[in-house]
């Protein structure tokens, strides 16, 4: 089984102009590759976004078993933070260049070659359960009591002393109990309607979208409350959303507006 390799490319700009200095793609050769993780070095000098992205691909995209997660950041000097237009232009350029290099843009912030999507992240976006292991870790689990699903999100105590002192309780701990000296310091019950909102919030980030009606049946809640149906109709009319039966997806051309689109449906 091949190791998962994640490439994180940080495009650091000290200006919101995207121009005016010389590209130095050699800095990508400083990428640190170890323990199955490839991390791209910051690039401080550049002239053309596509050249920068090409360097990113050359260093981190040389293997098939890699998922690329581009990060765009900016300093406050000399001309302030990146403008919305500059971020949008960079997002489009990064996406186009990576797709030309045979990377699938399968989630708004993630790219992978065929067969190498990050199953760990897909679990979050699909609403799967996950265990929180270790001090301060978060987990979300579903249990069934008398045929009724009971879903909770919990956080382990951040105190190493309390966490280790409770080692004998790990197998029998009641995750619904939270307190200063409990294994869990925070517990949040998640009702069916909240769980569906989370499926929408995360699932609509995926190119495949989310099966709203299928998720609602699984969770035991109403898929289309009146307010959500009205919001969906508005978004469909504006081209921000696509609907096929009970399935919703955000068109790729509208991903720049996905946060606002998703917020209207929650």
- How many CB atoms lie under 10 A from the CB of residue 9? 27
What is the pLDDT at residue 34? Answer: 35
Mean pLDDT by 10 residues, the chain (266 residues): 50 41 39 36 40 60 65 48 69 82 88 83 90 90 70 89 77 67 83 94 95 93 95 96 94 92 94
Nearest to residue 161, comparing CAs of 139, 131, 185?
A: 185
Report the distance separating Cα 216 and Cα 177, nearest Å.
28
- pLDDT for 47 equals 41
Domains of the chain: 5-117 (no CATH), 138-190 (no CATH), 193-265 (1.10.10)
pLDDT for 204: 96
pLDDT at 52: 56
pLDDT of residue 179: 65
Determine the pLDDT at residue 23: 35
Residue 9: its pLDDT value, please?
55
Please report, for residues 169, 222, 228, 234, the alpha-carbon distance to residue 193 in angstroms, rounded to integers and kept in the order given.
32, 8, 12, 21
């Amino acid at each position: 089984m091949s190791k998962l390799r994640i490439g994180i490319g940080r495009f650091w700009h000290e200006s919101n102009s995207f121009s005016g200095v010389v590209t130095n793609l050699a800095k990508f050769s400083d990428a640190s590759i170890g323990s199955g993780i490839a991390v791209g070095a910051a690039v401080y000098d550049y002239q053309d976004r596509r050249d920068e992205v090409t360097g990113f691909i050359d260093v981190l995209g040389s293997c098939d078993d890699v998922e690329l997660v581009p990060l765009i950041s900016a300093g406050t000097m000399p001309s302030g933070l990146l403008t919305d237009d500059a971020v949008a232009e960079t997002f489009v350029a990064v996406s186009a260049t990576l797709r030309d290099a045979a990377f699938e843009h399968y989630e708004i912030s993630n790219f992978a070659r065929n067969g190498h999507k990050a199953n760990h992240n897909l679990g979050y976006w699909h609403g799967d359960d996950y265990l929180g292991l270790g001090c301060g870790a978060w987990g979300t689990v579903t249990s069934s009591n008398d045929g009724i699903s009971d879903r909770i999100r919990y956080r382990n105590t951040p105190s190493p002393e309390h966490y280790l002192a409770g080692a004998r309780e790990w197998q029998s701990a009641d995750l619904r109990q939270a307190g200063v000296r409990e294994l869990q310091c925070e517990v949040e019950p998640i009702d069916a309607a909240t769980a569906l909102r989370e499926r929408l919030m995360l699932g609509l980030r995926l190119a495949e979208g989310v099966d709203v009606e299928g998720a609602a049946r699984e969770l035991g809640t109403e898929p289309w409350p009146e307010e959500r149906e009205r919001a969906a109709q508005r978004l469909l009319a504006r081209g921000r959303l696509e609907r096929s039966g009970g399935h919703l997806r955000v068109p790729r051309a509208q991903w720049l507006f996905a946060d606002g689109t998703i917020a209207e449906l929650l």
